Amino acid sequence: MTDSTTRSTHEAEGQDRPNPEGPIATVSYTERLNRYALLLSQLTAANVVELDPLVSETIYFTDPFNRLKGKANFLGLMSEMFEQLNNVSFEVFETQIQGQTGYLYWRFSASSSLTGAFSTEGTSRVCFNHQGLVVSHQDFWDASALIEQFPLLGRIIRYIRRRAAYKA
């Protein structure tokens, strides 16, 4: 994605977006990304509040099921995850930083009475403002892998996958 595309996307979302051309603060974005990744990998219901000082008041979060804005909503979503799921864990395998934008490659695992145990790998795009706060966190992962765990929907998704898959 080009800088102009990135700028327009962030402007459309109305958030305090990163500005690669602007002056770099004394913040180390690498350190901020690593701190954020470490906290995610150690996240529990009891320490969700530790995300508070790391994220902007106007954080924009997306994943295959959610689009929300604001620190209270983001922290609420993280807390709710622990209320609805059991054995929640994030394992961060890799981090990359380019300017004020970082990327995390991770595995999320959990279980629920509806799905049983499940696990999926994904990538997060994490953008920082000049104060080093997370202003955008976008998760990219295959939601159909989770939906396959649901009894009726799973059969439908598996059928679609079989029909759409390459047949060698």
Does 35 reside within a domain?
Answer: yes
Query: Structural domain of residue 100, as residue ranges?
Result: 3-141
Amino acid 25: pLDDT:
52
Q: What is the number of structural domains in the chain? A: 1
Does 33 reside within a domain?
Answer: yes
Q: How far apart are the first and last CA of the chain?
A: 33
Amino acid 119: pLDDT:
93
* Residue 31: both structure tokens together: 């350190």
HSE at residue 132, side-chain half, CA atoms within 13 A, is 16
Least confident among 3-7, 83-87, 144-148: 3-7
> pLDDT, tens digit, for every residue of 92-137?
999 999 999 999 999 999 999 888 899 999 999 999 999 999 999 9
What's the chain's average pLDDT?
86
Q: Tell me which residue of 73, 142, 132 sits closest to 99, measured CA to CA.
A: 132
Does 154 reside within a domain?
Answer: no
pLDDT category at 7 given cuts 50, 70, 90 is: very low
Does 157 reside within a domain?
Answer: no
Q: Which residues pair with 2 in a beta bridge?
A: none
Which residues, 6+ apart, have CB-to-CB distance to 75 below 8 Å? 48, 49, 51, 52, 55
Of 10 and 55, which is predicted with more confidence?
A: 55
Does 156 reside within a domain?
Answer: no
Does 153 reside within a domain?
Answer: no
CATH of the domain at 7: 3.10.450.50
Does 158 reside within a domain?
Answer: no
Does 42 reside within a domain?
Answer: yes
